[in-house]
Structures are given as C-alpha cells and as structure tokens.
Chains A and B, each alone.
Chain A
Amino acid sequence: MPAARDTANGRGSWWQRKRTRELALVACFLLPSLIVFFLYRMLPLGWNVLLSVQYWSPLKPARWAGLDHYEEMLFHDDVFWQSLKNTLIFIGASPFAIALALGIALLVNSDLKGAAVYRSIVFLSYPLMTVAVGIIWRWMYDERGGIINYALRESGLVTKPIPFLQSFDWALPSVIVAEVWQVLGFYMIILLTGLQSIPQHLYEAASIDGAPRRAQFWRITLPLLKPSLFLCAVVGILNSFTSFDLVYIMTNGGPGHATELLITHIYKSGFGQTKFDYAAALTVVQFALLLGLTYLANRAAGGNAGSLERR
C-alpha cells in the first residue's frame, strides 16, 4: 500500500481513499453527539418557533395562527406580565449575589490556613438536588418549625411569625434567597479561578508604583475578572430559568402568581392546560429575552465574550 504513494496515478486514488476514510471516521465519531444535540437543542428551537405560529393540538392537524398567540400573550395574559416581572427581579438579584461571591472569593484566595475547608463548605450547596434544597428552605421559612421565624421572634425583631412563603411581598425574595444560597458556591469557584489566573507581577508592579490596595482592586482585579464576571452573569440569567425546581417545591408559583416565573408559566400552560402552542410562544419570548440579556452582558464585559472565542 505505501508503495502506491509515489506513482502519479496511485497518488490520486490513495489520497482520496485516505481522505474519505478520515472524513468518514470523523463523521462517525461526531454522529452520536450531533444526533443528541440536533434532537434536543436545534430541532426544538426551530419547532418552538413553528409551534408558536400554529394552532396545534394532539388530535387535530395544525392550522396557521399567525401572531395570535403573541397577541394573546402580550395583551390578554396578566400572568405573562407578572411572570416576566418576577423573572426580571430574579435576574436582578444576581449582581448582588455575584458581588457577595466575589467578596468570599477574595477572602478565600490567600494562603489562609484552611482556605480549602471554607471553600468546600461554601461550595457544598451547589451539587445538591434542587428539590431537596427547596424542601429544606421551605422548612426553614415555616412559621412554627422554621429557624428563621424563630430567630426573628427570639431576637425581638417581630412579634408574630412572618408567613414568608404565603405572603405576596415576601414570597419572591424568599425564593431568591434560597436560590442565592445554592448558587453562591458556583460563583465563588468561577471567580476564584479567575482571581488565581491574574498574574502576581501586576500587583507587585502597582505596589512599587505606590498604588493603594483599593485602586489595585478597581484597576487591576476587576477588569481582568471580566470574563469570569460575564460567565457568572450568564449563569445568573440562566438560573432564573432553571429555578423551576425551587419554585415548584416552595410555592408552586403562588401565592397568586407572586412567584410565577416564565418557566413555570410555560410548564403550566404546556403540561397543565395542554396548550402546547401557546407555551411554545412563551418559550420563544423567554429565549429571546435570554439572548438579549446575554448580549447586553457581553457588551458590558467588553465585547468579546471573555475567552470563549480563544480557539
């Protein structure tokens, strides 16, 4: 076989065979993953858009609906607006969570003895099952058996227990606190990795130049952390979508849609009321919101999405 490499005629066919073999190999190896992504990422994205402009029901053929679903959503569905507002509030809480995580990361990022232990403790909440986390926090907020009300009453701050998860004002912040508790460790790890990748000599040079610590933070640390901060922001946005588990367990959207998120509204419309087409329209809006916010975060982080393009 190798001898055929040198003959003029043999080179063409041998080369072609090797090339096609290599392409076939690559295609075979990529195929399983690509099938999964096609079936469960790309196809659903397109089908969502298609469903959102149809009247679809499991038994009848689909009919064209134009923008009827969007009209219903924007003008006749109060729950949509409430859930959109709740989702935005949820996302709005993430900068505070990220700032808190940055503080913890700065504290842990030193040759402090036992830093690894602190790191593990803070990160422990992230790999837990969100359903269980929801049950734990639901119990913590309980009026009789919960520690939060107990602490508030014992310290004299309130005289009657606060029904956190049943009150219109407190329900959403309560769910947000539970979500922050769970995701704080993740933010901390990302920021810690970012902090540790900042070259030390930059700080040394700044110290030699006489820059105070505070200026070093704002001028060196923060700008170089932009990729990590961007990733945390994206996760924070995504969390408002993945917090379905928490809301389902803690309040199920109540009381009266006070904690309804876009994702729970989608779930209830699609699988509760079987209005798949309307739920698809909601999903399209949700995805557009996600893309829009990610784009804004990308701009705020300085254009290029951190190191995502470095290949």
Chain B
Amino acid sequence: MTLPDWARSRWVIVPLAMAIAVAGWNGYVALNDGGLVEGRVVDGAGRPVSGATVILLERNFVMHNERQRTRADAAGRFRFTGNDNHSLQLEAESAPLGRSERRVVRLWFRAQNVTLAEPLQFAGRLP
C-alpha cells in the first residue's frame, strides 16, 4: 500500500508521529500511576533489617516534608501506597542502627510506581 502524495509530506507525518507518541506516553502513564513505592532495607553487611521504620518524604518546591511512615517486614521489605508526588526522599530509622542514608527518588510522572533498584542502606551493621 503506497501512501497518497499528501500523506507523505512532513506536515502530516511529523504531527501524526507526535500525536502517536503523546498518546502512547499517556497510555503508559495511565497504566503505571498507582502511587506504589517499594524497596528493601539492609544494613552495612547487606542483611535485611526487619522492623525498621521507613519514612517517605515528598518534595514541596524547595523543601521535603514527611508524608508517610511504615515498617519494614521480616525480610526488610517495605511498601508505600498513595504517593502522588514526582520527587521523593526515603529514609529509614532503626533503634540499634540509628538513621540510614537519605535516598532521593525522582520519578518521571506523579504517582509513578517505583521499586528501588538498590536497597536503602544503613551505615552500621546489625549485631
């Protein structure tokens, strides 16, 4: 099937391609905006820290405010739901280990589902 002449002009192809790209992107966003933030918490040796409190902070222009808290389960995994921001920070606290690093998580769109690639790490080691 060969395209008619008018359909081959750049004034048709380019806007069409852009419209398809925009539609595709919006579709992807709609499928992935559950507001889910998951990850693991480990100590300095890589062992999971169960029972650690994980804090979710979200960005408000130039500051980050605490939004939610949750506890890591036995395997050190944690999960937040209902995130609707695009720029977050995660931090963990644990009684024996103090505070962990503060991880900045930046998303491509608000409420994007994200799973941390690297686990949140404490500096110290569990006894």
Direct A/B contact, Cβ within 8 angstroms: no
Chain B contact residues, CB within 8 Å of chain A: none
